[in-house]
Each structure stands twice: as C-alpha cells, then as structure tokens.
Structure 1
Amino acid sequence: MSQSPLIPAGALLLGLLCAGCSSVPYAQRMSERQAAYAAAAGAPVRSFRFFSLYSWEPLGDTQLAVYTQPNKAWLLDLGGCQELRFVNSIGLTSNLNQVMVGFDKVLTGRHNFPCTITQIRPVEVKSLKLAQQQQRQIESAAREGQPPAAAH
C-alpha cells in the first residue's frame, strides 16, 4: 500500500503557512515576556551564587532568564548572543560558584562565541508568576443582542 505524494507536500505547505502566520504573535509574546521579566526584576547586582542550572528561558538575543532553583531566577543582559532563541542548551561560566558581571559568560554552543554578561538582576519569581496568571485570564461578555448562553 503506497501513500499519495500529495499528503506530505500538503502537510509541508500547511506547516509553512502556519509558521508564517505565527510570526506576529510570537513577536508579541516575546515582547510581553520581556516586559514581565523586566517588571519583576530588581536592581542590578554584581554577581550571584551558582551551583547548577535548573532552567532557562531566552528573551531575544540580548536577554536570558536563568533559574538556579524553581523559585530563584536571574535576568541576564548579554552582549548580543547569536541565535540564542534557537539553541538547545546553554552553559554558564563561574568562578568559585559565583557568576559575575563583565567576567562570566553564557555558552551557547561550539560554533558560537560566548556571550558576555553585562548586567544581572534578581527576579521576584512570585510577582512574575502572578503577572503570568493575570495575562492568562480571559474576559468574557455576552454579545449585544444575544441572549446569555444557557448553563448545562
């Protein structure tokens, strides 16, 4: 039993169309994420203690959020990382378990140059999560001239 060659070509076309349509919402989502982290970030600090990387989130090619614990995050401003949004893994340099501004770097892969950390700000994770929950809330209202939907 053979498959029609139109199915893979159709799926590819559909995928390309969806990718083209999602570029505006992605840029908007990225901008909202950057704003949320900036609002939750405190004053710049010189360094932070680093034992292991729990999680990370790229916020463009010049910012990165790193979590050293589930409720402990840092917003790093970087000296322009190449394609940071597309790397599968990152690393952080440190000296005596300290990551320092201007000295330590974010490593993104063997073909990319290390990205210098130009600023570090602690992130208040609780307020960040609260802002995320508020963004997810949906306001609903009945349309004008339409009776309210019956509850089932």
Structure 2
Amino acid sequence: MKRLITATVLCLCLAACATSGRLTTEQKVQLYRAHAGAPQNDMPFTSSLSGWQELGDSALAVWTRPGEAYLLELSGPCPDLPYAQAIGLTSRVGRVAARFDKVLVGGPGPGPQMPCFIARIRPLDIKALRVAEQDLRQAATQEREP
C-alpha cells in the first residue's frame, strides 16, 4: 500500500512538471524506478531481447519477453547509451547477473565502445508502467487554466 501511494504521488508530481507530450530523461527514469520491484541478483536471458529503452546514461529498461521487463541501473555513466543503435548483454548460463555482467553498446561511432557494468536489476510492472505513461501523456496535453 505504501508503495502504491509513493508511486501515485510520484506520478502526480511528474504530471505537474510535464509541459509537453514528451517526458524528460529524468522524468522517464523516475517513472521506471517508481514501477520497479526490489533489486534482485540476476534475471533470465536467452540470448535476445524483445526490446529496450535507454533512460539516460545510467539506466535502461530491457524486455526479455513481451510481458517481462527489467530496469538495469548501471554502476556509472555509460556515455554512448543515449545514442546507441543497438545493445547487447553479457550472460552466463542463461542469466544476467548484477555486478558481474555488462551492457554492450553499439553506437554510430567507429570502434568498440566501453562496456557498462550492471549495478542493479529490478523487475518492472509493465502494466502499471504503461497506465502511468498514458496518464502522464493525457495530463500533459490537457489545457491549463490561466
């Protein structure tokens, strides 16, 4: 219940700050964090992703299946992440582990980019996240009184 109240307050704050149909990077990160569960040691990974979303230079969301996603918080800035054209994950025996595995960024520049270490893995509540995103978009497009 406390988590639901915190998430609701955060969403209302984000809605109040939103002035266009697009969220800032910080707003996106806060939205994803509000809908992420407790950190876990690892996550399943079968060699390909269903999708991914960069959240600035220190976090990203990855979909391992259409209905299953995780918030990956990195141990430091990953400067190429906001410009990545593709990403990969290192893994061991079908699992990606926090503090051991890395995000590999494929960018537009020549040569290999530095790998980015995963500090935390948190499961995402996809349904609640989509509802909150839709609510924020609707709040951002409503007219405000002068």
TM-score normalised by the shorter chain: which range applies? 0.7 to 0.9
In structure 1, what residue type is equivalent to 2:66? P
Matches within 5 A, 1:1-150: 29-51=24-46, 52-79=48-75, 80-109=77-106, 110-137=111-138, 138-140=141-143
Percent identity between matched residues is 41
Contact 1:105/1:117 (CA < 8 Å) preserved in 2?
Answer: yes
Alignment size in residue pairs: 120
TM-score, normalised with respect to structure 1:
0.71
- CA RMSD in angstroms comes to 2.4
Letter in 2 for 1:127: A
1:82, 1:112 within 8 Å by CA — same for their partners in 2? Answer: no
| Post-superposition offset of 1:139 | 2.9
Instruction: State the Cα deviation string for residues 73-128 of structure 1 (Å, max 9, x = none).
Output: 10001122122010100000100000001111000134211111000000000110
- Matches of 1:78 and 1:31 in 2, distance apart? 15
> Which fold has the larger relative contact order, with Cα–Cα distance below 8 Å and residues 6 or more apart in sequence?
2
Give 5+ residue unaligned stretches, structure 1: 1-24, 145-152
- Give ranges in structure 2 of 5+ residues lacking alignment: 1-19
| Runs ≥4 residues deviating over 2 A | 138-141
2:130 aligned counterpart, secondary structure: helix
Cα distance in 1 between the residues matched to 2:32 and 2:126: 9
Larger Rg: 1
Give the TM-score normalised by structure 2. 0.74
